[in-house]
């Protein structure tokens, strides 16, 4: 039996909270209930990284924020380790301009009465007695919340808590799995690792493997994720090391972009030789290099890599496949960030051709892309 400094028996708590699902064009972006069900099969000791006696509370389908508050307050009072997991839709109270976790039944007009104010989370966790506190987030921001998040650049929970997670932008469709990618990879790593990795390593792995949409808010922010988030670079040749993606992502997040790009290129060559140039594995590594180029600010290279990946996927997958749409979204985002007009003009026609091949794409995106390309081409004509 473990005793804390006040003479109380140590006891841990896992609090899993499912907010409202995030849906875009009838496609589920995040299914909180599915995420909770997947986490529920893991032992509390794995989630807490502790073997002290513990309790687990599931909150799925709650409609009253005060009910959630009472559960949160009870969990925060535990003297031992605490893990709070939240998944769902982040929204905004348009009147008070405060961020909220939407609960079941929350609408734009009822946010302040039916959603959980985000500030409540920080307030309750700040009063924690003893024991480590971890908050894990897998959220999607709606159109009202996203501009506020971009202004904040973060999503604070409590200064005394370790906060890990992702907040996906509102304009992207969900993946093919019911369990969202970030949570799924967090769970997979807990299952596969012979020894329980540190939370920062779990987070780095999940972010690196999840193929998150461009612009996703990552907590801690990528600039805060240093090389310590992953093991040292593997010395063995590709094919004989553990999954290299967490380490590559950690290198890039720590500003070591050239090392990350070189390591990714070496693994891509290994995959090309092993699986072939048109294999899904090869395309995946091309997309990893595209995202590394984006992280390094090399939007010209990132744009071309995403365009190539989109066309390659279209040769083997339907145009409404999530991977195809994600590649197109990555290409479009990086193209809009290009300040070099000549580079934007050169890659514009290929991007337009890719977008035209996607009938499920929002028409406005193709129209705006064509308009920008016409302006770029007109500028060249005017100079001539």
Asked whether the predicted pLDDT for residue 180 surpasses 80, the reply is yes
pLDDT in tens, 315-328: 999 998 878 888 88
Measured CA distances, 13 to 76, 82, 121, 314 (Å): 8, 5, 15, 46
Q: What pLDDT, in 10s, does the model give residues 26-42?
A: 667 788 999 999 998 89
* Peptide bond between residue 220 and the one before it cis (omega within 30 degrees of 0): yes
330, 314 contact by CB (below 8 A): no
| pLDDT tens digits for range 58-98 | 999 899 999 999 999 999 998 899 999 999 999 999 877 78
Check pLDDT > 50 for residue 145.
yes
Please state the separation of Cα 262 from the chain's center in Å. 24
Write down the pLDDT at residue 231.
Answer: 35
Chain segment 221-234, per-residue pLDDT in tens: 433 433 333 333 33
37, exposed or middle or buried, with CB in 10 Å at 0-12, 13-18, 19+?
middle
pLDDT value at position 339?
Answer: 87
Binned at pLDDT 50, 70 and 90, residue 237 comes out as very low
Residue 347 has pLDDT above 90, yes or no: yes
Is residue 193 pLDDT above 50, yes or no?
yes
| Predicted local distance difference test score (pLDDT) of residue 29 | 76
- Distance (Å) of CA 367 to CA 119, 214, 380: 40, 20, 20
Angle (nearest 5°) at CA 182 between 267 and 229: 60
Choose among 164, 20, 148: nearest CA to 88. Answer: 20
**What average pLDDT does range 154-171 have in this prediction?**
83
- Sorted by sequence, the CB contacts under 8 Å of residue 303 that are 6+ apart come out as 331, 334, 335, 338, 343, 347, 351
DSSP state of 213: P
The average pLDDT across 148-156 equals 79
Predicted pLDDT at 81 = 93
- Give me the sign of the Cα torsion angle 312, 171, 333, 187: negative
> Whose CA is closest to 103, among 138, 145, 157, 64?
64
Q: Looking at residue 69, what is its pLDDT?
A: 96
- pLDDT of 208 > 80? The answer is no
Structure tokens at 280: 């899904």
């Amino acid at each position: 039996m473990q005793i804390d400094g006040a003479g109380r028996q140590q006891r841990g708590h896992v609090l899993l909270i499912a907010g409202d699902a995030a849906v875009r064009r009838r496609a589920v972006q995040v299914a909180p209930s599915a995420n909770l069900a997947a986490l529920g099969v893991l032992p509390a000791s794995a989630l807490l990284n502790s073997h002290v006696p513990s309790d687990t509370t599931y909150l799925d389908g709650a409609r009253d924020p005060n009910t959630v508050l009472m559960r949160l307050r009870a969990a925060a009072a535990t003297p031992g380790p605490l893990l709070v997991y939240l998944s769902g839709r982040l929204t905004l109270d348009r009147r008070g301009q405060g961020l909220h976790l939407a609960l079941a039944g929350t609408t734009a007009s009822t946010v302040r009465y039916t959603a959980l104010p985000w500030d409540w989370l920080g307030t309750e966790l700040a009063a924690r007695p003893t024991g480590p506190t971890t908050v894990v987030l897998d959220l999607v921001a709606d159109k009202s919340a996203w501009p506020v998040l971009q202004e904040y650049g973060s999503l604070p929970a409590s200064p005394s808590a370790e906060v890990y997670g992702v907040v996906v932008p509102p304009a992207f469709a969900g993946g093919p799995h019911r369990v969202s990618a970030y949570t799924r990879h967090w769970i997979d790593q807990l299952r596969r690792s012979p020894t329980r990795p540190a939370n920062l390593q779990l987070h780095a792995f999940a972010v690196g493997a999840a193929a998150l949409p461009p612009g996703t808010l990552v907590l801690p922010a990528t600039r805060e994720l240093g090389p310590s988030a992953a093991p040292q670079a593997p010395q063995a040749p590709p094919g004989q090391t553990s999954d290299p993606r967490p380490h590559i992502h950690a290198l890039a997040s720590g500003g070591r972009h050239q090392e990350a790009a070189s390591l990714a290129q070496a693994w891509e060559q290994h995959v090309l030789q092993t699986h072939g140039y048109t294999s899904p594995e090869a395309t995946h590594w091309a997309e990893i290099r595209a995202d590394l180029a984006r992280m390094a600010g090399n939007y010209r290279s990132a744009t071309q890599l995403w365009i190539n990946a989109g066309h390659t996927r279209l040769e083997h997958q339907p145009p409404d496949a999530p991977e195809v749409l994600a590649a197109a979204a990555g290409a479009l985002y990086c193209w809009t960030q290009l300040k070099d007009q000549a580079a934007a003009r050169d890659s514009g026609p290929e991007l337009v051709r890719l977008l035209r091949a996607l009938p499920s794409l929002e028409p406005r995106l193709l129209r705006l892309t064509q308009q920008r390309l016409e302006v770029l081409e007109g500028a060249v004509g005017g100079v001539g």
